[in-house]
């Protein structure tokens, strides 16, 4: 009997141990909001002293959400519960607006607080009644939400709480995630599971994950979410679906997030009973006004519409001989009385072989500059093709001074290895935003162009297509979280650097240890250039698999779409002539860029084959031929992935086991797929160039025919590509 008792006790303790291990396992669910206990004793004591008493009166859902976040953070980081005070104590924390807090209302710098942007905040060390105090203050309640997240971030990243003098206001007004989520639960170009939105149980049941989604977005300043795919389903505008969307709006509202919907242009015909969707038809215009009035009766703070029209088969105003401006303005007029916005996408192109797709968006929208209403954004992608690993910035930026433009980034890695590849997009985002358009002379960066619309048009904005799904870690690849984080941080401040954003994310996600920070940051800052090298060296682009957009397919050729339009390969040369003697895409850029891109002597080599068609023996700046340069880049890309693997493996024991093994296994997958890109592309190009891959390089293991078995090599389970 005693033996049995001992056995039961032993089993009990084993189960407790297993439960504890499971509880403390790092799944990645907490993203960068990991409020783990601070173990550095000196820092811990200083932070504890600064937070020993809190004055934080709440009078709204937003203030209550901010207070709950502060409690969550202080409890996790310091083991503290908020000690409420009514009379100031030394080393206290005071939080509020001039309306919510009498202490804030009587501060000597209260006028500075009242002069903040509605979303801005101040975090300041000061003395009140002779007592040392930290103040988190804002003009409006939402500013307190943002301020509390920043205050907690200071502790998460081990920053000093002494002599604080932080004043933050967003540099862009509309900071929106464009979810490509379908009403059936799937996500177009989603690689992290299914949609978060549980439409079947909305609006009554609100999944707690909605709150975590909203918290996460608020922590980086995102203030809007388009709920449905740009390839829209008209029924999302029906009453029963609007009521469901209202459930999400209710969950997001305390965190300052407004919901938007993608509107299908043909909705008046599909669900409205009309025989036309012509924007010049008074019945159609009235239908949109009535529909918008209904939406605002259900969702009072509705943000507006995102529209994809006359692109990739989507209906639009051109179906009726009208312009993009005619269609956008019809919707804008319906939304204007309620403060709503239209985001009208500029991603349009014709599947016609004689037209260079790079030039389409500019040619369609540039002539319409000044024709759009003040509450309309024209929304181009960051580059003129389609979310490639590297593109020159879209020439519409700086070319439409009379129209507000909102830049669209892709966070989900549609053409960058999906959620299988570690690719830090902060570098891509930064490169685009800091590109000089020369629209108003030197220094007119894309970032400044976007920010200037607030002064000239009263609105400014940016959008990102997210990589978020139902996977436990939200983004499929753990490092995909860093791209969500980077987008939000740049939406708030487009002039941040990828280096400073990556360090912030690493400190909050992994560790404040210097060696961990340096190693992980080195991996992140290497990763984007690696994928450029093994997918599109020297400006080659859009040669991915036609169906999956994953893996190489430069050989794809059919009447609908051909990769040959993007590389123009022959036995003599490769690349697309977009100079003044070609499609003249260079002519869409301001000087001196137009001439710089046009001239082989000044065109940056990273865009060489984007703008120029060149012979295989063309000499690069390195002195090597074009062929050998292409080969070098492909092999360099694979080697860089191997460097990333080696660096990550050096962190074993310094990163928790679950997240370490997750990343390690995906880096191995990435190495195999980088080799697939390298070998498949080089063998295809070699078929035309008839030039050898230098013998010092490892030679492709398989034939070109092998790699042409799409979407994966046909006996992939037997190859080294996918061996662990």
pLDDT digits (tens, 9 = 90+) for 649-672: 999 999 999 999 999 999 999 999
Supply the angle between the helices 141-156 and 498-509 in degrees, to the nearest 10.
80
Q: Considering 84, 312, 515, 698, which one is annotated as catalytic?
A: 312
On the question of pLDDT at 19 being above 70, the answer is no
pLDDT at 269: 98
Question: Does the pLDDT value for residue 711 go beyond 80?
Answer: no
Pairing assessment for the beta strands 614-615 and 573-574 based on DSSP bridges: antiparallel
pLDDT greater at residue 428 or residue 13: 428
Higher pLDDT, 333 or 15: 333
Asked whether the bond before 308 is cis by omega within 30 degrees of 0, the reply is: no
Using one digit for the tens of pLDDT, what is the confidence trace for 281-292? 999 999 999 999
Residue 1 pLDDT > 50, yes or no?
A: no
Looking at residue 351, its pLDDT comes to 72
Take residue 644 and report the two structure tokens written for it: 């990333």
Nearest 5°: the CA angle 631, 635, 640 is 145
List helix spans (H) across 157-222.
208-219
- Do 399 and 378 form a contact (C-beta atoms < 8 A)? no
Residue 28 tokens read as 């990645």
Q: What is the pLDDT of residues 112-122, one digit of tens each?
A: 999 999 999 99
Question: Locate tokens 């829209």: which residue?
Answer: 232
Check residue 43 and give its pLDDT.
95
Q: What is the pLDDT of residues 52-90, one digit of tens each?
A: 999 999 999 999 999 999 999 999 999 999 999 988 999
Among 441, 414, 437, residue whose Cα is nearest residue 425: 414
**386 is known as an active-site residue:** yes
DSSP characters for 237-288? GSHHHHHHHHHHHHHHGGGT-EEEEE--TTHHHHTT--S---TTSHHHHHHH
pLDDT at 13: 35
pLDDT at 353: 76
The per-residue pLDDT for 714 is 60
Among 100, 108, 102, 70, residue whose Cα is nearest residue 87: 102
- Residue recorded with tokens 């177009």: 188
Model pLDDT, residue 341: 98
Determine which one of 414, 430, 529, 673 is catalytic.
414
If you classify domain 174-509 with CATH, what class do you get?
alpha beta
- H/E run at residue 336: none
Sign of CA dihedral 60, 61, 63, 67: positive
- Whole-number average pLDDT of the chain: 95
Residues 194 and 227: beta-carbon distance below 8 Å: no
Check if the beta carbon of residue 415 is closer than 8 Å to that of residue 549: yes
Geometric angle at alpha carbon 226, from 229 and 257, rounded to 5°: 160
Fold that domain 41-168 belongs to in CATH: Chitobiase; domain 2 (3.30.379)
| Secondary structure, 3-state, 492-530 | HCCCCCHHHHHHHHHHHHCCCCHHHHHHHHHHHHHHHHH
Query: Tens digits of per-residue pLDDT, 544-602?
Result: 999 999 999 999 999 888 999 999 999 999 999 999 999 999 999 999 999 999 999 99
> What is residue 715's predicted lDDT score, i.e. its pLDDT?
61
312 is catalytic: yes
Among candidate residues 117, 188, 294, 386, the one labeled active-site is 386
Confidence of residue 25 (pLDDT cuts 50, 70, 90): confident
**The pLDDT of residue 718:** 58
**Domain topology for 532-576+613-722:** Alpha-d-glucuronidase, C-terminal Domain (3.90.1330)
- In the predicted structure, residue 16 carries a pLDDT above the cut 80: no
Task: Judge whether residue 229 has pLDDT over 50.
Answer: yes
Can you spell out the DSSP letters for 41-84? Answer: HHHHHHHHHHTSEEE----SHHHHHHHHHHHHHHHHHH-PPP-B
List % helix, strand, coil for the chain (3-state, nearest 5). 45, 10, 45
What pLDDT shows up at residue 182? 98
Identify the weakest region by mean pLDDT among 239-248, 422-431, 643-652, 701-710. Answer: 701-710
d(CA 569, CA 220): 44
| Cα(628)–Cα(617) distance, integer angstroms | 9
Confidence (pTM):
0.95
User: Phi and psi at residue 412, in whole multiples of 5°?
Assistant: -70, 145
Q: One fold for both 41-168 and 174-509?
A: no
Where exactly are the structural domains of the chain?
A: 41-168, 174-509, 532-576+613-722
Q: How far apart are CA 126 and CA 105, in angstroms?
A: 15
What pLDDT is recorded for position 560? 85
Residue 12 has pLDDT above 50, yes or no: no
The answer to whether residues 254 and 214 touch, using CB atoms and an 8 Å cutoff, is: yes
Tens digit of each residue's pLDDT (9 = 90 or more) over 98-113? 999 999 999 999 999 9
What pLDDT is recorded for position 717?
Answer: 57
């Amino acid at each position: 009997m005693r033996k049995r008792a001992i056995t039961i006790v032993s089993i009990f303790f084993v189960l407790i141990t297993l439960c504890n291990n499971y509880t403390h396992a790092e799944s990645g669910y907490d993203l960068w909001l990991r409020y783990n206990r601070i173990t550095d004793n000196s820092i811990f004591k200083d932070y504890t002293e600064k937070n020993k008493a809190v004055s934080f009166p709440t009078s709204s859902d937003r203030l209550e959400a901010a207070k709950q976040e502060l409690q969550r953070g202080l409890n996790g980081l310091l083991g503290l519960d908020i000690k409420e005070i009514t009379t100031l104590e030394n080393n206290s924390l005071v939080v509020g607006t001039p309306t919510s807090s009498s202490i804030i209302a009587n501060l000597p710098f209260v006028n500075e607080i009242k002069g903040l942007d509605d979303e801005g905040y101040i975090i300041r060390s000061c003395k009140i009644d002779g007592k040392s105090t930290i103040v988190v203050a804002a003009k409006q309640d939402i500013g307190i939400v943002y301020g509390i997240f920043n205050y907690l971030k200071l502790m998460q990243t081990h920053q000093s709480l002494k002599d604080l003098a932080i004043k933050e206001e967003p540099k862009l007004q509309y900071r929106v995630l464009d979810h490509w989520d379908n009403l059936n639960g799937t996500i177009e170009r989603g690689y992290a599971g299914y949609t978060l939105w549980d439409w079947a149980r909305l609006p009554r049941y609100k999944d707690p994950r909605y709150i975590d989604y909203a918290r996460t977005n608020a922590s980086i300043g995102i203030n809007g979410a388009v709920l449905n795919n740009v390839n829209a389903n008209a029924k999302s505008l029906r009453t029963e679906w609007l009521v469901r969307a209202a459930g999400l709006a209710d969950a997001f509202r305390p965190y300052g997030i407004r919901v938007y919907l993608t509107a299908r242009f043909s909705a008046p015909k599909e669900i409205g009973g009309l025989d036309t969707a012509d924007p010049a038809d008074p019945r159609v215009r009235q239908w949109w006004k009535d529909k918008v009035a209904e939406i605002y009766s259900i969702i009072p703070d509705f943000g507006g519409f995102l529209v994809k029209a006359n692109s990739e088969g989507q209906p639009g105003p051109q179906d009726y001989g009208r312009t993009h401006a005619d269609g956008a303005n019809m919707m804008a007029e319906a939304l204007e009385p309620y403060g709503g916005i239209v985001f009208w996408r500029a991603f349009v192109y014709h599947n016609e072989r004689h037209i260079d797709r790079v030039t389409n968006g500019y040619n369609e929208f540039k002539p319409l500059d000044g024709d759009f209403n003040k509450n309309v954004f024209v929304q181009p992608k960051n580059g003129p093709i389609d979310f490639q690993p590297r593109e020159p910035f879209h020439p519409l930026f700086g070319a439409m001074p009379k129209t507000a433009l909102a830049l669209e980034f892709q966070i989900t890695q549609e053409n960058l290895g999906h959620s299988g590849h570690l690719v830090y997009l902060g570098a891509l985002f930064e490169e685009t935003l800091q590109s000089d358009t020369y629209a108003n002379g030197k220094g007119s960066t894309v970032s400044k162009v976007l920010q200037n619309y607030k002064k000239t048009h009263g609105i400014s904005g940016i959008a990102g297509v997210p990589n978020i799904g139902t996977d436990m870690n939200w983004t499929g690849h753990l490092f995909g979280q860093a791209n969500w984080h980077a987008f939000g941080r740049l939406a708030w401040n487009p002039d941040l650097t990828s280096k400073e954003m990556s360090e912030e994310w690493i400190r909050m996600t992994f560790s404040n240890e210097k060696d961990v920070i340096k190693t992980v940051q080195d991996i992140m800052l290497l990763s984007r250039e690696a994928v450029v090298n093994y997918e599109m060296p020297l400006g080659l682009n859009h040669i991915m698999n036609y169906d999956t957009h994953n893996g190489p397919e430069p050989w794809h050729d059919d009447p609908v779409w051909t990769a040959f339009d993007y590389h123009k390969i022959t036995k003599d040369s490769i690349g697309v002539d977009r100079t003044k003697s070609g499609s003249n895409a260079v002519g869409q850029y301001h000087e001196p860029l137009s001439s710089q891109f046009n001239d082989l002597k000044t065109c940056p080599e990273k865009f060489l084959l984007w703008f120029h068609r060149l012979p295989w023996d063309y000499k690069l700046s390195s002195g090597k031929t074009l062929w050998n340069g292409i080969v070098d880049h492909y092999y360099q890309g694979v080697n860089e992935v191997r460097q990333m693997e080696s660096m990550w493996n050096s962190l074993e024991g310094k990163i928790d086991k679950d997240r370490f093994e997750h990343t390690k296994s995906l880096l191995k997958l990435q190495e195999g797929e980088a080799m697939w890109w390298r070998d498949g592309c080089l063998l295809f190009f070699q078929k035309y160039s008839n030039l050898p891959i230098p013998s010092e390089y490892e030679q492709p293991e398989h034939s070109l025919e092998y790699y042409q078995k799409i979407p994966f090599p046909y006996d992939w389970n037997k190859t080294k590509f996918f061996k662990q």
